[in-house]
Chain A
Amino acid sequence: MSTKRSVSRHTARRAARVLDVASFALRTALRPTRQLGFPYRAPTTPSGVALPEQPSSLGADFETDWARRAPAKAARKLIVNGPLRLAVKALADPEVLGLDRLSDLSSHDDPPAVIFAPNHHSHLDTPLMMIAVPEPWRSKTVIAAAADYFFDTRIKGTLAALALNALPIDREVTGRRSSDMIRGLVSDGWSLVIYPEGGRSPDGWGQEFKGGAAYLSSRTGAPVIPVFIDGTGAIFGKGMKRPKPGTSKVVFGAPMWPVEGQSTRRFNARIEASVTALGDEVLTDYWTARQRAARGENPKLSGPEYQGWRRQWALDDRRKLGAAGMRRRQQRRWPDIGK
């Protein structure tokens, strides 16, 4: 027993000695730099002196060209078709509708670049779009992401650009840099997903459309594809700490082009009306939605005018009708052949 105890003491002493030696060696190695200081080390700033502003490489200025080159594209293909698809399927189980409306564009020998304009309720919307957008566009689509949210740090920006092919966009203003960059991309055949609402819905209802998609379409000539996403707000809406798996729907609308002489504002209103009609189509059916669209009576994406609990109450009703809840069951009709 006593022999064992003396051996362990001996081992501990040796370990402590090794640590001492290592620590001394490290201190000795670092001493010259500490002693050297500036310019070998970063300068300190005198108090009371304002530093001149450095050009930013974050936010809207984040460089993402590398994410559209072959190695990044190959990596993204693996990510999207592997873990991303599985995760989206597990969380949101999407049903994709209306792809036939894109068949004319996709049947071209060289399908044109397009601008997808979906409503936005959740961070899930982007992975959902990455999976729902059909070929030939899927592998050549960039996602317009809020520069102030996704590109505020280098790590976040790199991940967003690699996994989602995200492109930093100013939320409030479509700046010249963003606009020029998108124009160049569209002329190179890259399609774009842009959320005209500018950000996720704060309360589950939609927000007014900003003119980004309409403006970019007018400038690039690319058609806008209105898209309605239903169900993701209930799965992982803004403010939710963890996702609550459910079902979702992605409905693609018919391509829209800017009409000559029509202002961006009016074109934006048309896009909003079209997404609103698609939302009604999900809640009701195609014919009811078309009838209400003709009368200008599609329920607004932004929900009822009133505030407070009644607004939330109405949202629950809407979700019950939509993909997140139970849809009314369709019964098979048997022919009436009398007696």
Chain B
Amino acid sequence: MPRPGFVLEVDRSTPPILFWRGENFSLEKLPAGRSRVIYPPEPLPALDDIDGAIRRALLNPHDQDPLPALLFPGMKLTIAFDDVSLPLPKMRRPDSRQRVMEAVLDMAAAAGVDDVHIIAALGLHRRMHEYELRHALGDRIFDAFHPRGTLYQHDAEDPDNLAVIGTTPQGEVLEINKRAAESDLIVYVNINSVAMDGGWKSITTGLASYRCLSHHHNPETLENTRSLMDRHKSALHQSVWRLGTVLRDHGPKVFQIETTLNTDMFPSPFGFINKREWEWNVKDRATFLATTKSLDRTPIRLARKIFHGIEGPHQMTSVQAGETDAVHKITLEHIFKQQLVPVEGQTDILTLGIPFVCPYNPDGVMNPVLVMCMGLGYLFNMYRNKPLVREGGVIIMTHPTYRDFNPVHHPSYIDFFEEVLSDTTDPATMSRKWEKKYAEDEWYRHLYRTGNAYHGVHPFYAWYWGAHGLQHAGKIIIVGGDAPTVRRLGFTPASTMDDAFEIATDVVGRAPTISHLHVPALLVADVS
């Protein structure tokens, strides 16, 4: 029986705690008597018969007819799926998307459906490489559909292939992929790693245009999103749900399939990551030492290759299908069952170890903008009710924060860092002054549509993702980061964790209380 998550009060006998530092780790001693470490629950057991569970979900959907009853000869069927940003790290083959899609295709074949299109729901993310599509969908689906041109990736900048479904009472226009809009049925195949994903967000962002996304991907909405993991207190999700209502009332029929994964994220050589430090055995300690010492001497490119090559052993813990709202409700229950940890009260300081990857750099570089996005956008938002750190408190992150970018994946990030961040770090100002220029830049648009680049506006969205954290924190410190780069982000550099605590005293006094979020594995702190 997996143990639930828990909060460790740090005392003098507590060993140093594991922190991610990009493509490496460190052990940091937290002050005794005023620090606590929030540990995630242990991974839940995976479903015994995954393929059987998928089939049962398709045949017994929630608030909708069974999938075979929705399929008929001559229909237009569109299957959309989550892109490469999920799950992290990529899961061992077969990926959940492949399993679900093969079950759907079996039923479509049995029903005599010929017109099937499979679309990667990218939103404004980069197009997936062939090896990524093969990994997510399997060779069988790729070889069957890609050569025919019926497996492709959504293009949010193709005016000929976008269709307006309707408008919300607030004036938000729902514009999505034309093929999906004109289909008799959209089957959405989702992977839910965190509570933020899934529901109506799947289609209304994954298959949407820039115009549609800009209604909720903006500083005002994201500053009022508290948090991204709490749908009912998230302005972003409220906007998405309004768009979802338009889709439900005026769009094609949607059959939503959502899956959840356990948090068994790293294979055995990295087993120490998922263990509590005082439970490390000789092997764990030896592995940690060997790993960190060798990574210290490994060229960064090779270290990235090693880390991005990791395939997580995480497995499916639930699969549910049917009407989007009904399905997502059950999905959230499963997500919180795996990730929720009750925590009492806020502290003055929140410490976060930033790993080598976030949803926007699979097989790429964790550039400085993404360090901010991962820390303030994702990890800071891993809460319900209240943030772990009090308003005006200090957030301390550990990451090398290299001034390094992947020019293929993140071309507009480079200019964003040099041009926009040297002008302002305020989300509202940059939105007013700079966003339009980047969003409508023809070169970025070309790279997004034909290469493997994120959309020109994406670095703004990554920055807005952290808008709530920026607004909430009194000071943000990065330990071990490249000092000029950290300063460009508007943060304070520190050499060591002790230095960071010393710097923080300006804001939080001499004896601040500290929370450390021990991720990964993923967890959501339910702060009372």
Which residues of A are interface residues toward B (Cβ below 8 A)? 97-98, 100-101, 103-104, 107, 254, 281, 285-288, 290-291, 293-295, 330-331, 333-335, 337-338
A-B contact pairs, 29 of them (CB 8 A): A97-B139, A103-B93, A104-B49, A107-B315, A254-B51, A281-B140, A285-B140, A285-B143, A285-B147, A286-B105, A286-B143, A287-B144, A287-B145, A288-B144, A290-B109, A291-B114, A294-B109, A294-B110, A294-B112, A330-B143, A333-B146, A333-B147, A333-B152, A334-B450, A335-B155, A335-B450, A337-B155, A337-B158, A337-B446
Residue of B nearest to A289 (CB): B144
A331 contact set on B, CB distance < 8 A: 147
Query: In the complex, what's the smallest C-beta–C-beta distance from B156 to chain A, in angstroms?
Result: 12
* Alpha-carbon distance between A129 and B112 when the two chains are bound, in angstroms: 35
Query: In the complex, what's the smallest C-beta–C-beta distance from B213 to chain A, in angstroms?
Result: 19
Knowing that A100-B94, A335-B155 touch, tell me 9 more A-B residue pairs with CB under 8 angstroms. A98-B140, A104-B49, A286-B141, A287-B144, A288-B144, A334-B450, A337-B158, A337-B446, A337-B450
Residue of B nearest to A338 (CB): B160
B153 contact set on A, CB distance < 8 A: 335
Q: Of the candidates B114, B143, B449, which one forms a contact with A335 in the assembled complex, judged by CB atoms under 8 Å apart?
A: B449
Which residues of B are interface residues toward A (Cβ below 8 A)? 49-51, 92-94, 98, 102, 105-106, 109-112, 114, 116, 127, 138-141, 143-147, 149, 152-153, 155, 158, 160, 315, 446, 449-450
Residue of B nearest to A281 (CB): B140
Residue of A nearest to B141 (CB): A286
- Contact A287 B105, CB 8 Å, known A97-B139, A103-B94, A337-B158: yes
Q: Of the candidates A98, A103, A286, A337, which one forms a contact with B449 in the assembled complex, judged by CB atoms under 8 Å apart?
A: A337
For the A-B complex, the count of residue pairs with Cβ-Cβ distances under 8 Å equals 68
Query: In the complex, what's the smallest C-beta–C-beta distance from B465 to chain A, in angstroms?
Result: 27
A104 contact set on B, CB distance < 8 A: 49-51
Q: Of the candidates B127, B139, B141, B446, which one forms a contact with A287 in the assembled complex, judged by CB atoms under 8 Å apart?
A: B141
Query: In the complex, what's the smallest C-beta–C-beta distance from A28 to chain B, in angstroms?
Result: 73
Q: Of the candidates B112, B140, B158, which one forms a contact with A286 in the assembled complex, judged by CB atoms under 8 Å apart?
A: B140
A288 contact set on B, CB distance < 8 A: 144
Residue of B nearest to A333 (CB): B149
Residue of B nearest to A100 (CB): B94
B116 contact set on A, CB distance < 8 A: 287
Q: Which of A281, A331, A335 has the most CB of B within 10 A?
A: A335
A254 contact set on B, CB distance < 8 A: 51
A337 contact set on B, CB distance < 8 A: 155, 158, 446, 449-450
Residue of A nearest to B94 (CB): A100
Query: In the complex, what's the smallest C-beta–C-beta distance from B111 to chain A, in angstroms?
Result: 8
Residue of B nearest to A254 (CB): B51
A294 contact set on B, CB distance < 8 A: 106, 109-112
B450 contact set on A, CB distance < 8 A: 334-335, 337
B143 contact set on A, CB distance < 8 A: 285-286, 330
Contact call A100/B160, Cβ cutoff below 8 A: no
Query: In the complex, what's the smallest C-beta–C-beta distance from B445 to chain A, in angstroms?
Result: 9
B158 contact set on A, CB distance < 8 A: 337-338
- Contact A330 B109, CB 8 Å, known A97-B139, A287-B141, A335-B152: no
* Alpha-carbon distance between A290 and B116 when the two chains are bound, in angstroms: 13
* Alpha-carbon distance between A290 and B138 when the two chains are bound, in angstroms: 15
* Alpha-carbon distance between A288 and B111 when the two chains are bound, in angstroms: 14
